[in-house]
Amino acid sequence: MQTILIRLHEKGQVQRRRAGRGHEYWPVQDAATAAVAQMRAALPDGTDRHVVLQQFAASLDAVDVALLRAMLAGADRPA
């Protein structure tokens, strides 16, 4: 586990500070920000963007579809 945390720190994925004889680690990004970065990386430049977005939308459950539709329409929450 320590080796993984050190490598993540070297890659800038986690921060750390001294805590006694060891270190405390915490993520640089929150989970939502990290998920957005992964989603953006999955969207290629070019015509495949349509396919990626279509497959993502098809994988959503009804609650998430309603939330996404409301967000795209400019509302904060679905009715």
Tokens of 64: 């998430």
Both 19 and 32 in a single domain? Answer: yes
Both 49 and 33 in a single domain? Answer: no
pLDDT tens sequence across 12-62: 999 999 999 999 999 999 999 989 988 888 887 777 888 888 999 999 999
Residues 6+ apart with CB under 8 A from 32: none
| pTM for the model | 0.57
CA–CA separation, 31 and 28 (whole Å): 10
- 65 pLDDT above the threshold of 90: yes
- 7 pLDDT above the threshold of 80: yes
Tokens of 31: 């989970």
Both 37 and 48 in a single domain? Answer: no
Both 48 and 38 in a single domain? Answer: no
Both 27 and 12 in a single domain? Answer: yes
pLDDT of 44: 79
What domain range is 36 assigned to? Answer: 1-42
- 79 pLDDT above the threshold of 60: no
Q: What angle do CA 58, 59, 62 make, to 5 degrees?
A: 85
- Name the domain count of the chain: 2
CB atoms within 10 A of CB 54: 10
